[in-house]
Structure 1
Amino acid sequence: MSGLSDDLKAMATYCYAQVAQTYLNTTEGKRVCYMLAAANGVVWAVWQVPRMEGFMMRAFSHHPLSGLSYTMLTSTFSHSSFIHLLFNMMALMSFGSSASLYLARQQDADPSNLRESTSKWHFLSFFISAGLFSSLVSHIATARFKYPQLLAQLANPTRSVAPAASVVEGAAAVRSTSALTGSEALASIKPSLGASGAIYAAVTLTAMAFPEAHVSLIFPPTPPIPIQYGVFGFMAMDLVGVIRGWRIFDHHAHLGGAMFGLWYYAYGPRLWESFRELTLGGLPPSLRKA
């Protein structure tokens, strides 16, 4: 800024100080969420480049029939729609920092006395593991259940006709089912992407760790409700979506993330500390006593 006037130098320095101080005043967990949001924003920006669309579809969305496994990780940081990105990052900022706070408290309360200088690696491990698990649940639901059902329909199209259907209705059902070609069956299986599963895990972990908290929905606007009522209400909606075959969201990934969050609340912090005891403190106390 040496070539700028004194007024512009002062303005630039003031703006920098305000932004930097705001960042430094936030909790460590929220800083990690900022970094995750920035990574998701960069991936979203690449999606907006037309010539990169084919690459992004292959490498940053997970198709259960693609034969690729690394996309279960990359798709966790991928959003092609700005609205999808915006709502997911808003939820990450709210619940990710709370989940990180809970994990930090659990580390401080651990009896092993192996203190950590930072809890960000614990939260990052939790977030990535939750994203992988939710992607795996969605993958298994499609590759092991939905796809074989489509193949069965192609092999025996008349099997879906109800016995009580009339002749006209039965003929229409046969035509509708038999018209389903192999390419159409494959096209009905869509790739998935987004951080919703990992964020769902953070939401359920927060709900179990801070049951006295209240949340409000932005859309539709709602008064404050207990967080556990809201979370289990959303889980019930996703369960209905799985049963009814809704395709607006990846309900299997949502439920997978929610179940991972519940499991991690019960067993995750102790499992994390047991790994640290083995790597940093030698054998755990129970084995040392033996």
Structure 2
Amino acid sequence: MLWTLRSPSVRHLQPCLARKLSFTPNSRLPRITKDAVREIPPSTSFREQVARSAAPKSFTSEIKTPPVRNQVIVFLVGSFAVYSIAAEQCNVETAKWTKKLSGSSLIWKVREPTSEELRKAKRLELGRKLQAGLSSLKDMTEGWSQTMRGLAVWSYIQVFQPILDAGDGKRTCWAIGGVNTLVWAAWQVPKFQPFMMKHFAHNPLSGISYTLLTSMFSHRSFLHLLFNCMALASFGKSSGVAASVHLMKEQAKNPHGIQETDVTWHFLAFYMSAGLFSGMTSHVMTSKVLYPRMIARLTSKAKPVDAAAVAKTSETITETSEKTILPSLGASGAIYAAVTLTALAFPHTEIALMIPPSFPIPIQWGVGGIVALDVIGALRGWRFFDHWAHLGGAAFGAWYYNYGPHMWNSVRATHLEASQKVQRPEKTD
């Protein structure tokens, strides 16, 4: 059976032809005016965007130098605390001995004892205590053989007679040397090495500040300890040419009329402040001069390389800085201050080296020579000694020669006035 095929009528195709071929909603789009076209910022080309972009930071600029603010604060606050405590203790001790002498003689009820009379009275008291100790030793060894008893008495005299004969300044230096020896002994224990390196050696790259104080009493080698203790005992003793002699003489000239039993507290404050200042000087110069100079020298000839090479270069710089910037320790800065103070106070004195033996030379020649050597070492970057710490100590000694004694007397006068106001009863109406 055959069917005839007829073409579809237009009527059947009308719905299909009426369908809109659009996937968007049937809504009118907003008209864009000419003003809106003007407000659209012009697009920048890729070349302009690259030109406007900031230049990449160099590797050197990304490295931060070690901070110095905390170390400066440690010096300022530490020196203020040391001088305040020392001045208060000196006033208390002087008042105690003044009261003690005033009750022992009529003459001191009319006038106050002088500083020299106070020192003599204190020395006599020390002699009586040592004599009592010798008597007690003889009683304890009464049952011993004559040889052993004589050896014990002889040993007691050999130890304590120099202590009695020495002045206050020299005894203070011996006490400092004893503390240095104890710290040196701790260095010799292998188990304590990491602790000592962290807490008793000042590393500018560590960020630790209190090591400015602890490293002042720290010596790792025996020769370093020996030379520093010998120099300290030579320039800190109260007989002959010494820093403490100058401090006592200047104290006698103070306009406040304040007496002083001994120079121990003054010398301790001077010594510790000088050590803090020399350590701070070394830290500042290492952080702001030596470290940036070393980084710039290591990166001055660098060429563009891949990331692995950059990482390797960074490790090399870190290892080199750790090997070049070494931790500092020792009392050399404080001793330089005492040496410089002595040279300025007694310019006509002669000195000579004990090891090796040498002929005497004027003290200013000797001190000027070692300061000049430190200047050369600092400028040329010698690292065997901490030359910046030496120069900082010398600068502190020169400053203290001109202004230190007056500052010490002013601090003592301020504390004395404050204590008198506290003890004075308030008047009531």
TM range (shorter): 0.7 to 0.9
**Per-residue deviation, 1:105:** 1.5
Partners in 1 of 2:358 and 2:149 — Cα distance?
A: 46
Query: Which residue in the other structure is 2:374 paired with?
Result: 238
Partners in 2 of 1:178 and 1:12 — Cα distance?
A: 64
**Per-residue deviation, 1:126:** 0.3
1:8 matches 2:148:
yes
Query: Which residue in the other structure is 1:95 paired with?
Result: 235
Q: Which structure 2 segments of 5+ residues have no match?
A: 1-139, 304-312, 420-429
Alignment of 1:12-51 (within 5 A): 12-51=152-191
Moved more, 35-44 or 209-218: 209-218
Conservation of the 8 A alpha-carbon contact between 1:154 and 1:178: no
Partners in 1 of 2:268 and 2:314 — Cα distance?
A: 48
1:279 matches 2:415:
yes
Partners in 2 of 1:237 and 1:181 — Cα distance?
A: 29
Select the residue among 272, 285, 288 that pairs with 1:128. Answer: 272
Partners in 1 of 2:351 and 2:357 — Cα distance?
A: 11
Provide closer, same or farther for how the CA distance between residues 94 and 199 of structure 1 changes in structure 2, counting only shifts above 3 A. same
Partners in 2 of 1:249 and 1:154 — Cα distance?
A: 23
Provide closer, same or farther for how the CA distance between residues 111 and 255 of structure 1 changes in structure 2, counting only shifts above 3 A. same
Moved more, 178-187 or 36-45: 178-187
Which amino acid letter does the alignment assign opposite residue 277 of structure 1? A
* TM-score, reference length from structure 1: 0.86
Which amino acid letter does the alignment assign opposite residue 328 of structure 2? S
Q: CA offsets, 1:78-113, max 9 Å, x none?
A: 000001111111100101221111111111221211
**Per-residue deviation, 1:154:** 4.3
Conservation of the 8 A alpha-carbon contact between 2:295 and 2:317: no
Question: Over aligned residue pairs, what C-alpha RMSD do you find?
Answer: 2.0
1:138 matches 2:285:
no
User: Sequence identity, in percent?
Assistant: 52
* TM-score, reference length from structure 2: 0.59
**Per-residue deviation, 1:143:** 1.0
Partners in 2 of 1:8 and 1:73 — Cα distance?
A: 44
Larger radius of gyration: 2
Provide closer, same or farther for how the CA distance between residues 178 and 56 of structure 1 changes in structure 2, counting only shifts above 3 A. closer
Which amino acid letter does the alignment assign opposite residue 224 of structure 2? H
Conservation of the 8 A alpha-carbon contact between 1:64 and 1:143: yes
1:247 matches 2:383:
yes
Q: Which structure 1 segments of 5+ residues have no match?
A: 160-176, 284-290
**Per-residue deviation, 1:245:** 0.9
Partners in 2 of 1:218 and 1:10 — Cα distance?
A: 33
SS of the aligned residue for 2:321 comes to helix
Partners in 2 of 1:120 and 1:243 — Cα distance?
A: 37
Partners in 1 of 2:268 and 2:325 — Cα distance?
A: 30
Conservation of the 8 A alpha-carbon contact between 2:375 and 2:391: yes
Provide closer, same or farther for how the CA distance between residues 179 and 20 of structure 1 changes in structure 2, counting only shifts above 3 A. closer
Q: CA offsets, 1:154-179, max 9 Å, x none?
A: 444359xxxxxxxxxxxxxxxxx999
